[in-house]
Amino acid sequence: MTSKLPIVRDVAFVARFTWVTAGLLLVASVAGILFGRSGLYTPDATLWSFLGQDAITLILVFPLLLVSAHLALRGSTRGLLAWIGVLFYVAYSYYFYLVGARFNALFPVYIALVSMGMYGALALIFSIDLEQVSSHFNHHTRVRMIAAFLMTLALLFVAIWLSMTPVSLVNESELDDVARFVIAVDGVVLLPLTFFGGLWLWRRQPLGYVLAGLLLVKVTATMVTLVINTLLVTRWGVPLDTFELTVYAVVMVFSAALLVSYLKCVDTADSKDV
């Protein structure tokens, strides 16, 4: 069935990676929910963030990974694009378990999830016939809107992260560990990828069409996580930041709407979106 996909090499080994990844996701999320409050995670405000992430992984990410991979292996280009995005999200989210969670028995599992998610996503991207994928998008594709959204989002977070550094230096204070971990991975990986992915899509370059799917899946899932975690950390006595929550919710809704629109515009037409 994969012969129907716009790929240039076999992705069976990525499928095997994915089934193992799904199993490890199930182990890590269930263990976190059952044992997170009894010593698996540090008993501070991050406890509820990890518990929220575990719940989202179990309810949303785990089934989405299985469904997208299954659809892709049955010849669905939509499934293929979503599959890449979910694998990337797994790598990104479990990076924070590696650097932010208490050292525990699941540490090797976290390493495996980051590694398999990242290399699985890269393997799929390198297996894709980019020209053929871009030709599958019809003329209804909101190319400029999606591209502008991704570039604006990247520049917005660049401005936010850059503003935090001089403020901390002036106040002679240090960034907390969570902020440093987020800024580090976003600055090195996510923000450049988001900006240039949007730019390439704006120019209608084939790689931009593929990265748009990856990024919209990632942004939507991340914003769902942030909305839920912003509410959950109030259980630890952290005041609710209504402005922050509103921003996360607005970006989540807009990103989800663009993701649905993006996937709906994938068809089997042989004409490239112009």
- Mean pLDDT check: name the lowest of 96-105, 160-169, 178-187, 222-231: 160-169
Q: What is the CA radius of gyration of the chain?
A: 19
The tens digit of pLDDT for each residue in 155-172 reads: 999 998 888 777 666 666
The tens digit of pLDDT for each residue in 178-221 reads: 778 888 888 999 999 999 999 999 999 999 999 999 999 999 99
**Helices (H), ranges, the chain:** 12-35, 45-56, 62-73, 77-100, 107-127, 130-135, 143-170, 177-185, 191-202, 206-232, 242-264
| Contact partners, residue 19, CB within 8 Å, separation at least 6 | 69
Residue 273 lies in a domain: no
pLDDT for position 48: 85
Mean pLDDT of the chain: 90
Mean pLDDT value of segment 24-46: 92
Residue 235 lies in a domain: yes
Question: What predicted TM-score, i.e. pTM, was given to this entire model?
Answer: 0.91
Mean pLDDT value of segment 44-66: 92
Residue 221 lies in a domain: yes
Residue 274 lies in a domain: no
Q: How many domains are there within the chain?
A: 1
- Mean pLDDT check: name the lowest of 88-92, 145-149, 169-173, 202-206: 169-173
Share of the chain above pLDDT 90, in %: 67
Q: Report the C-alpha gap between 137 and 207 in whole angstroms.
A: 13
φ/ψ region of 76 (left if φ > 0, alpha if ψ in -120 to 50, else beta) reads beta
Q: What is the DSSP letter of 189?
A: I
Domain of 102? 2-264
Residue 201 lies in a domain: yes
Q: Report the C-alpha gap between 225 and 54 in whole angstroms.
A: 10
